[in-house]
């Protein structure tokens, strides 16, 4: 075997040569493994020191130690330099400009919500409260308490989504409410008279869907019960609402209509002026809502004395009103979730 001094200087040359050739972090890892790790020849030199004679150890020991220090320093310097470089590369690659603004899609209120909001503003400014009730309703609140007889066609399987029915007629039977009128009952039962509420809400009818009908739509109920209330109050209230909503005077007319929970019952038509597809101005009477004076039976069912109190009630289609206000011709568009349709209502 060659003398140790020669082996050490050969090792030193090889190590420095390898170091000079190394470029990448990977190269330097290999360099470490070969020349500095426990498995390296250097480590063997160190381990072999104890077998040397004292004289030899004094001569060659410092040589090996300083070689080790030198190689370690070279390696550590280079390694941190390369790590820094890798880090910089990563930083550049991962750079994200958090101040840059993306093209944003703005959300918007649904046209039905827009009209609902406006209606609520108008009625609260007239002293009405906005009330709410369950969409799954008892047969009693939806029909019986509203003086709607068992034989009434509205109860037919055709029109009503029944949730649960017993064999016997029972007040526990439940339906998807077919109108917001059920909330009249809930409110009067809870608070008695006087009452002044509107009830915007979703209702359900078991109907075939077409351009103007959907199985679900929104209504707004109105109810005012107090002393000395007459049809004149109803007329004034409706007229105020419409002129506020459309920002102009709207002509209305009353026709007799039948709803079991009002007496007399009315249909309210409005004179609707609009621009047609050809750009021509047109106008016609449109059926707008059902209304009337609250039937004494309904007041009595809710514990209110009809000899002391009277009231008016009305109910109109909020969905239909939104269609009128925005000139939407197909009801199905409203719940289509089509973005280009909804975007038209985005506020800027
Ligand atoms: N509930 C009736 C409907 O859905 C509307 C209405 C409400 C009529 C209040 C009169 C009074 O058609």
The reply to whether ligand 1 has any atom less than 6 angstroms from the CB of 259 is: yes
Ligand 1 near 314 CB (within 6 A): yes
Q: Is residue 295 classed as helix, strand or coil in its secondary structure? A: coil
* CA nearest ligand 1 atom 8, residue: 290
Ligand 1 in reach of 217 Cβ (< 6 A): no
pLDDT tens digits for range 114-165: 999 999 999 999 999 999 999 999 999 999 999 998 888 877 766 899 888 7
* pLDDT one-digit tens code per residue, 61-112: 898 999 999 999 999 998 888 889 889 999 999 888 888 877 776 778 899 9
CA distance 155 to 133: 20
* Alpha-carbon span 294 to 199, nearest angstrom: 16
* Ligand 1: nearest atom to the Cα of 184: 9
For residue 258, the 8-state DSSP code is: -
Ligand 1 nearest atom to the CA of residue 289, by list position: 5
For ligand 1, pick from 201, 231, 290 the residue to mutate: most ligand atoms within 8 Å of CB: 290
Mean pLDDT by groups of 10 residues along the chain of 348 residues: 85 92 88 92 88 86 91 91 90 86 77 96 97 96 93 78 73 90 98 97 93 92 98 95 92 95 96 87 94 98 98 96 90 88 77
Contacts of 80 (CB under 8 A, 6+ apart): none
CA of 259 to the centre of ligand 1 (A): 7
Is-cis flag, bond preceding 337, omega within 30? no
**How many angstroms does the Cα of residue 261 sit away from the middle of ligand 1?**
8
Helices (H) and strands (E) in the chain, counts: 12, 10
Q: Of 244, 245, 263, 242, nearest to 253 (Cα)?
A: 242
**CB contact at 8 A, 342 and 326:** no
Instruction: Work out the number of other CB atoms within 10 angstroms of the CB of residue 251.
Output: 13
Q: How far is CA 89 from CA 27, 62, 84, 128, 286, in A?
A: 18, 40, 9, 66, 70
CA distance 188 to 224: 10
The tokens describing 75, both together, are 């390696």
Q: Is the CB of 290 under 6 A from ligand 1?
A: yes
| DSSP SS3 for 207 | coil
Q: Residue 218: CB within 6 Å of ligand 1?
A: no
Site to substitute for ligand 1 among 181, 213, 218, 255, most atoms within 8 A of C-beta: 181
Closest CA to 223 of 113, 121, 299: 299
The confidence score (pLDDT) of residue 96 equals 85
What does the pLDDT read at residue 145? 96
């Amino acid at each position: 075997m060659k003398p140790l001094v020669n082996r050490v200087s050969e090792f030193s040359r090889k190590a420095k040569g390898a170091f000079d050739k190394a470029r990448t972090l990977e190269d330097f890892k290999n360099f470490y493994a070969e020349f500095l790790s426990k498995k390296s020849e250097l480590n063997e030199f160190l381990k072999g020191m104890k077998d040397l004679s004292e004289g030899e150890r004094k001569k060659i020991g410092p040589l090996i130690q300083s070689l080790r220090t030198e190689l370690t320093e070279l390696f550590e310097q280079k390694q941190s330099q390369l790590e820094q470089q890798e880090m910089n590369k990563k930083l550049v690659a991962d750079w994200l400009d958090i101040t840059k603004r993306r093209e944003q899609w703005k959300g918007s209120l649904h046209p039905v919500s827009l009209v609902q909001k406006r209606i609520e503003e108008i009625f609260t400014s007239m002293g009405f409260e906005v009330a709410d009730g369950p969409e799954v309703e008892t047969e009693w609140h939806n029909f019986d308490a509203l003086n709607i007889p068992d034989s009434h066609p509205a109860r037919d399987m055709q029109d009503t989504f029944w949730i649960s029915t017993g064999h016997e007629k029972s007040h526990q039977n439940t339906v998807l409410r077919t109108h917001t009128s059920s909330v009249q009952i809930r409110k009067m039962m809870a608070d008695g008279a006087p009452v002044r509420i509107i009830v915007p809400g979703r209702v359900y009818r078991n109907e075939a869907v077409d351009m103007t009908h959907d199985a679900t739509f929104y209504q707004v109920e109105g109810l005012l019960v107090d002393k000395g209330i007459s049809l004149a109050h109803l007329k004034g209230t409706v007229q105020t609402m419409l002129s506020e909503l459309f920002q102009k005077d709207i002509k209305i007319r009353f026709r007799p209509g039948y709803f079991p929970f009002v007496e007399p019952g009315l249909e309210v038509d409005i004179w609707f002026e609009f621009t047609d597809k050809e750009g021509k101005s047109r106008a016609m009477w449109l059926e707008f809502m059902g209304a009337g004076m609250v039937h004494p039976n309904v007041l009595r069912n809710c514990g209110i004395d009809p000899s002391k109190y009277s009231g008016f009630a009305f109910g109109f289609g909020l969905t239909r009103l939104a269609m009128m206000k925005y000139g939407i011709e197909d009801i199905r568009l409203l719940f289509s979730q089509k973005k280009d349709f909804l975007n038209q209502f985005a506020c800027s």
